[in-house]
């Protein structure tokens, strides 16, 4: 069972090593798995006293009913950063086919002294958003910051509002585009569906829905969420990092990109 993660704000350029639980440093490993909680056992229950069975039975029934209501209300993920799960809307698909061109980047490893992906040509991505509108993240001369998020990642749910406010305040350098990839989608994990989560968050940045195999994330070597990859106008990787970034760290990271 994973421990409750604690968040440590990071400087740009730091990342996370692969693992299976939130690492307590403001990011969630891409292979992380949630563990069911709130389960109780019948062991240790004491039979009700004679003559009080009806009252206890009624009380137990009310508790059971409230528990069922709570499960229904929280199905799809609890509130983190003011967001919860929702329902899939007509015409919306949480995963879409993705075409990847070019060689994949090596998996990101923050224990390494340097990132071998820096200077390499980033893969190109062609796909669609949740509603089917075509989306391409290719080498068209536009410098881009690509943000990979997973709906079940608590750090992503905290980071999205931070990045949204930062974008609205004009933090993104002129000539630079921020694109988003929703990946690692699973109906059995918290805060599903991602389309409802991001709609509630007011997320308007261009978004590509990854396929069920997370082909886009794998092509970029994503090992933790949230995950940032900076690509210059020539399609070369400038930097990669993972974890929650506050506005100052976002500005420091984006400064590595030269506007078109």
* Strands of 129-254, DSSP E: 134-137, 144-149, 177-182, 207-209, 224-225, 227-231, 237-242
Eight-state DSSP code of residue 122: P
Whether residue 109 lies inside any domain: the answer is yes
Q: What is the dihedral of CA 251, 13, 207, 33, to 10 degrees?
A: -140
Whether residue 179 lies inside any domain: the answer is yes
Whether residue 78 lies inside any domain: the answer is no
Q: CB neighbours (10 Å) of residue 65?
A: 10
Whether residue 236 lies inside any domain: the answer is yes
How many structural domains are present in the chain?
1
Whether residue 59 lies inside any domain: the answer is no
Q: Which CATH number does the domain housing residue 240 bear?
A: 3.40.30.10
CA 54 remoteness from chain centre: 48
Tokens representing 181? 């990839």
pLDDT digits (tens, 9 = 90+) for 177-199: 999 999 999 999 999 999 999 99
Task: Please tell me the distance from the alpha carbon of residue 53 to that of residue 133, in angstroms, as a whole number.
Answer: 60
Task: Please tell me the distance from the alpha carbon of residue 17 to that of residue 186, in angstroms, as a whole number.
Answer: 22
Whether residue 42 lies inside any domain: the answer is no
Task: Please tell me the distance from the alpha carbon of residue 151 to that of residue 28, in angstroms, as a whole number.
Answer: 11
pLDDT value of position 259: 73
Whether residue 259 lies inside any domain: the answer is no
Task: Please tell me the distance from the alpha carbon of residue 67 to that of residue 49, in angstroms, as a whole number.
Answer: 24
pLDDT digits (tens, 9 = 90+) for 26-71: 778 886 543 332 322 233 333 333 334 344 444 445 545 544 434 3
- Going by pLDDT thresholds of 50, 70 and 90, the confidence category of residue 240 is very high
pLDDT value of position 64: 53
pLDDT digits (tens, 9 = 90+) for 89-131: 778 999 999 999 999 999 999 889 999 999 999 999 999 999 9
Eight-state DSSP code of residue 151: T
pLDDT value of position 25: 53
Whether residue 52 lies inside any domain: the answer is no
């Amino acid at each position: 069972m994973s421990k409750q993660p604690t968040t440590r704000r990071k400087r740009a350029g730091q990342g996370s090593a692969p693992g299976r639980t939130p690492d307590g440093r403001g990011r969630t490993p891409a292979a992380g798995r949630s563990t069911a909680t709130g389960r109780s056992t019948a062991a240790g229950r004491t039979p009700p006293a004679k003559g009080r069975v009806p009252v206890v039975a009624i009380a137990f029934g009310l508790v059971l009913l409230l528990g069922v209501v709570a499960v229904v209300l929280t199905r799809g993920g609890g509130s983190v950063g003011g967001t919860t799960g929702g329902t899939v809307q007509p015409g919306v698909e949480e995963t879409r086919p993705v075409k990847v061109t070019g060689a994949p980047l090596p998996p990101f490893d923050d224990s390494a002294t340097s990132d071998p992906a820096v200077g390499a040509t980033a893969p190109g991505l062609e796909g669609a958003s949740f509603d089917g509108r075509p989306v391409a993240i290719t080498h068209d001369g536009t410098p881009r910051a690509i943000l990979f998020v997973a709906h079940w990642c608590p750090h992503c749910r905290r980071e999205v509002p931070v990045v949204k406010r930062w974008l609205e305040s004009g933090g993104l350098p002129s000539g630079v585009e921020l694109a988003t990839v929703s990946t690692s989608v699973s109906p059995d994990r918290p805060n599903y569906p991602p389309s409802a989560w991001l709609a509630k968050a007011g997320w308007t940045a261009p978004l590509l829905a990854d396929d069920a195999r997370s082909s886009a994330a794998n092509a970029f070597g994503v090992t933790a969420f949230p995950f940032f990859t900076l690509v210059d106008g020539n399609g070369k990787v400038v930097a990669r990092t993972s974890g929650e970034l506050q506005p100052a760290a976002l500005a420091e990271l984006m400064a590595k990109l030269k506007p078109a």
